[in-house]
Amino acid sequence: WAIYAPYVKAINSLKAERNAVILGHNYMTPEIFHGVSDFVGDSLQLAIKATEVDADVIVQCGVHFMAETSKILSPEKTVLMPDMEAGCSLAESITAEGVDEMRRRYPGAPVVSYVNTTAEVKAASDICCTSSNAAQIVAAQESHTVIMTPDQYLAQNVAKDVPQKNVVWWEGSCIVHEQYSPQDLRDFREWNPGTRLIAHPECPPDVVAEADFSGSTSGILKYVTEEKPEKALLITECSMASNIADSLPEVEFVGPCNMCPYMKKITLEKVLWVLHTMDNQVEVDPTVAAKARLSVQRMIDLSR
């Protein structure tokens, strides 16, 4: 921690000067998560927080779609990204034209888009979802057929949880979670008996089926906090376990894990740099933002 201390001090003093808050996703490295974030959480919690914080500036410590979501919900605030290249394989897998194509394939079916999408895709959709409310949002649609974009695995996991709906999907995937196989989990159980396996729903359904629990990053935290298993393997991004391990000393978090190269682009140095320069301001075309806001707000209203 000593090497981070000067950065943390400088960031905290600039935060006060700029009336800024830092929203940190659960996949940030511990020095960002614990050291400088004012609020931490999953995609849904951060989106809601963006509407509530009383600040002139939001520094989004997460990936680009999260910063866009904050800007869509709080257009009057300045939203800064420590690194504009922090993308997401899911957000990159579909454009608004892809949404139109799905509408042509399934006429009349509503489009539920994961928040891991660009503002244009959100604007072309009917409603958004996150991994913590996807099943609830799909179940709430009137139509029997529901289009989910762009995560094929989240959609397949939701389809199992909401069997009354005909869920159809776009073929996108998360480069971090698609790497796990059910055999990995079976091998791990054999080598480490008694370990609780906890998977994010961006994992393929046969991986989720091998796990003891599946949930969003906040769902994972809630599960481990309540259950306090002796040993836990989080089938998700590496920083998740690092960030919660200190507050749960009774749980032994074991590896392996996968890193998200996009999330890992966010560093303390870059946070300090954008607060100093006010560079990397995230802008969303107002017409697109207005439409995208409807999709995100419908999701927030249904999740409360």
Give the total residue count for the chain: 304
Is 15 or 120 the residue whose CB approaches ligand SF4 more closely? 120
Choose, by CB under 6 A, the member of 89, 217, 239, 242 that binds ligand 13P. 217
CA distance 203 to 178: 6
Could you list the beta-strand ranges (E) of 1-84: 20-25, 39-41, 57-61, 78-80
Q: Does 216 bind ligand 13P (CB under 6 A)?
A: yes
Which residues does residue 112 pair with via DSSP β-bridges, in sequence order? 127, 148
Q: How many residues touch ligand SF4 (CB under 6 A)?
A: 13
Cα–Cα dist 127/88, whole Å = 20
From ligand SF4, ligand 13P, none, interface partner of 43 (C-beta below 5 to 8 A by class): ligand 13P
Q: Is 153 annotated as a binding residue?
A: no
Q: Between the CA of residue 222 and those of 30, 111, 153, 157, what are the distances in Å?
A: 18, 29, 22, 20
Query: Which string of x and - marks every residue 33-72 that binds ligand 13P (by CB under 6 A)?
Result: ---------xx-----------------------------
Strand order of the β-sheet with 111-114 is: 127-129, 111-114, 145-149, 166-169
Report helix, strand or coil for 130: coil
Structure tokens of 288? 């697109």
**Residue 216 binds what, of ligand SF4, ligand 13P, none (CB under 5 to 8 Å, by partner type)?**
ligand 13P
Which residues inside 168-197 make contact with ligand SF4, applying CB under 6 A?
174-176
Give the one entry of ligand SF4, ligand 13P, none that residue 89 binds, where binding means its C-beta sits below a cut-off of 5 to 8 angstroms depending on kind.
ligand SF4
Ligand-binding site membership of 76 (annotated): no
Binding-site entries for iminosuccinate: 25, 43, 114-116, 131, 200-202, 217
Chain contacts with ligand 13P (rule: CB under 6 A)? 26, 42-43, 116, 130-131, 174, 200, 202, 216-217
